A and B are shown apart, each in its own frame.
Chain A
Amino acid sequence: MRNLTTLVFVPAALLVVIGCDLASIDPGGGAVSQTTVSVRGGVDAGPVDDTDDTDVAVATGEPGSLTGTILFDGPKPNLAPLVGKGTSRVDSAVCAADEAIPDESLVVGDNGGIANVFVYLAKKPSGIKFEAPEALAPLDQQACLFKPHTLVFWSGIEFELKNSDKVAHNIDAKPAANAGFNENMPPGASVIKSFRNTEALPFQSTCAIHPWMRFWTLVVDHPFYAVTNAEGKFEIPNLPPGKHKFRVFQERASQLERSIEVVVAPGKPTTVEWKYPPSKFGL
């Protein structure tokens, strides 16, 4: 009885080994002949049809503009400073030496307006002519903070990263659609960079030496964007009249609006007011 079991078991166990070897594609084994190669017909995008416009219904007429305020629907939050005055463990002679390092992840003005919010057309509108800027405002580093905290670059246009501090920083940029970089920035340094592609969302860049430091960058290929000021106000001028879809991004909340539709009137400002509860910001 026992012998029989053993007799059966051993060859069967062997089968397991052999059988599996055949079934899994052993690259060196017989199964290789079943693999194939085919050829992609090349990327022939053909002419891109710029007249076909499913996203933005652009009417003819004098351009209008979008002005608005983004408001915090609650009492002004009181976020603790990231580094108290004189308490920095790194570069204490420069960082938080005169003033505490504020938590800039949510900046609310006295009027309840939220600063540093990106408002932009998620997609470049077709059939509209505009000129790309000749130069872009640089990013600077002062008192262990990135200045400004939020900024917009254009794809294909060079921009400057500077360090006016008396200590070294670094800029570790992690975009999604572009190649990232991580550059050392000693005092007085200036580095020129550019991005090839646009980004669907602003992305964060950090400094490893001073871990509280961060700034947010959007990369666009059209001028229809704005970043709210200290009172939460923004203006996007020269918008063709008609229906537009905007994206609204705040770093703590990520997308406040994935796609919000606004009809821009010709020849005059169209005003909006968007209000968001504290829960949107994890408060």
Chain B
Amino acid sequence: MKRSISIILLVAALPLVGCDSSRAPSFQLSEQSLKLSNFAQDKVQGELTAGFGSPAELVVWPELEIDFGQFGGTIGKVGPRPGTIRIGQTAADGLKPQSELATEKLLQSLRGAAVVVTNAQSSAETTSEAAPANEEATSAPSVYRVASYDTASRLLSVIDESGQPAQLNASEGDTVQVLGSTLQTGRNLYLRHCMHCHGVSGDGAGPTAQYFKVKPRDYRQGVIKFTSTKAAVPHPSRDDLFRIIKLGVPGTYMPSFMLLPDDEVNLIVEYVRWLAMRGEMERKLNAWLSTSYSQEAVNEADSLSELQSEFEAEWNTDSAEFIERFGNDLKLDWQDADKPESVVNPTAPRTPSSPESIARGRELFLSKDAKCASCHGETARGNGPSTEAFNDLPGMPPGTKSDKPGLFDNWGNIVKPRDLTTGVFRGGRRPIDIYRRIHSGIKGTPMQAFGTTLKEEQIWDVVNYVLSIPFEDKQSGH
């Protein structure tokens, strides 16, 4: 009997262990950030929290090139119950879910989203010509959260930070905006479908990642390998991400998510872009601070308090400017990625594949100009001489050689040049996909961009050759 009681106790304790609340998803600081001194780390953490929040408490940073999800309009009526707003007739007409399931999905995405009420009078003041004198009198918009929304009656229930019905500072005619609903849905979908490989922070280190030989993408550099964008555009377009999620990456563990509806994939795309921006912001803050204010700098410093006050002074004078510049970088670069002119679209149509074109392509492949063979090998097995060289370990002092031969990517993994005889192409096997691989290179890898140096016709010849390789007659002495 005693034994059974102890078993009961033991078993009863199990759920507590399993349900450790520390397992709630949270964004982790990067390895780089962890090398910062504590005081610099605090500021980086603070800045990331201010700009992006946490998985459970997302932050809408309106300047970013992200569709956070918003709807709204003017307030038709405040009330009847405390903390409720009826949104005006014309507004929010876009939110008319056609089914019960769609309604449930919509409500899920709205719950917790930010509600911004801008006082009609104060916004009129700021837009009027004589504003400067009254500037101080203008009240800032009030921010609340969505508790629920009734699509039929357009009744929005609003709560405050403590979860109680909000004491609204709003009246008829004020502007109301609901922000962040789709980012929340994107987050939910990401946590369900992507997180276990790509990690909560998008660091490519989810719980499953450790078992993979080919590592899941770490988004935090904003770099994705297979894009349609030009070499000079650092980021993928939304279409690129959509395509990768839908089709998967052949030859890797990245599966196809063809069964997800398009709108859900789009929401995941937006959340992945947002995670990438968060990572980039962290990286840029590190590029600025890690030199002077690392843990190493603390160890070397004569006086910790002097270094810290130096840091505080620099942070106080410069951080606003730096953060604005970094935010601007994110905005411009990600905007660039979605511009039509950023996409590699050859003006010359594909040269029809012919023995002549294939021969020209093969000649280029082996030539001193393109030197494809130096990595891909003369027989295109992905075993060129570059794969035999012992290279410096990334992120280590020069001369620190890796103990394994091979080329490294930007994430510190050894990458194999593609074996072109298998007919499996990670970025897609359409001729245009291979054209773009050659034109822009594969970002973050030693596969370089040939678009500025090879002519369109030459690239098409190489495409024709590459597509012919799996069918090459191996007996012919190639």
Chain A residues within 8 Å of B, Cβ to Cβ = 1, 4-5, 8-9, 12-13, 15-16, 19-20, 22-25, 27-28, 32-40, 42-43, 45-46, 48-49, 52, 54-55, 89-91, 105, 122-123, 166-168, 170, 172, 174, 176-177, 179-187, 189, 191, 196-197, 199-201, 204, 208-209, 211, 214, 247, 251-255, 258-259, 282
Contacts and interface: CB of A to CB of B under 8 A. Distances in A.
The A interface is mostly helix, strand or loop, or mixed, namely loop
Interface stretch (B5-13, B37-45, B240-248, B338-346): B5-13
A185 to B, nearest CB: 7
Interface string B154-196: 0000000000000000000000000111011001110110000
Contacts of B290: 200
B133 interface: no
Contacts of B114: 36-39
B292 interface: yes
Contact of B15 (A12, A39, A174, A200): A12
Given A24-B23, A36-B112, A252-B398, A179 B369 contact: no
A168 B370 contact: yes
B71 to A, nearest CB: 13
Given A16-B15, A37-B114, A43 B324 contact: yes
Contacts of B320: 43, 45-46, 48
21 contacts: A1-B4, A22-B19, A25-B24, A32-B184, A38-B143, A39-B179, A40-B60, A43-B63, A122-B292, A168-B369, A170-B446, A176-B286, A182-B441, A182-B443, A183-B449, A197-B329, A200-B287, A200-B291, A211-B389, A214-B398, A258-B291
B108 A32 contact: yes
A174 B398 CA distance: 14
Contacts of A52: 317
Q: Which 4 A-B pairs have the closest CB atoms?
A: A37-B180, A27-B188, A23-B19, A179-B234
B386 interface: yes
Contact of A39 (B143, B329, B370): B143
A81 B370 CA distance: 27
Interface residues of B, number: 103
B76 to A, nearest CB: 23
Interface of B: 1, 4, 7-8, 11-12, 14-15, 18-21, 23-25, 50-51, 53, 55-63, 68, 108, 111-114, 116, 143, 145, 179-181, 183-184, 187-189, 191-192, 222-223, 231-232, 234, 283-284, 286-288, 290-292, 297, 300, 313-314, 317-318, 320-321, 323-325, 327, 329, 333, 367-371, 374-375, 385-386, 388-391, 397-399, 407, 410, 441, 443-450, 452-454
Nearest to B116: A39
Given A8-B4, A37-B179, A199 B287 contact: yes
Given A40-B61, A180-B234, A27 B446 contact: no
A273 to B, nearest CB: 21
With a 10 A CB-CB cut-off, give which of B53, B189, B390 has the most chain A CB atoms.
Answer: B53
Contacts of B24: 23-25
B14 A12 contact: yes
A37 B231 contact: no
Contact of B287 (A33, A177, A252): A177
Nearest to B293: A258
A230 B454 CA distance: 38
A12 B297 CA distance: 52
Contacts of A25: 24-25, 55-56, 191
Contacts of A168: 367-371
Nearest to B56: A35
Given A16-B15, A40-B59, A33 B448 contact: no
A185 B58 contact: no
B449 A90 contact: no
Nearest to B159: A36
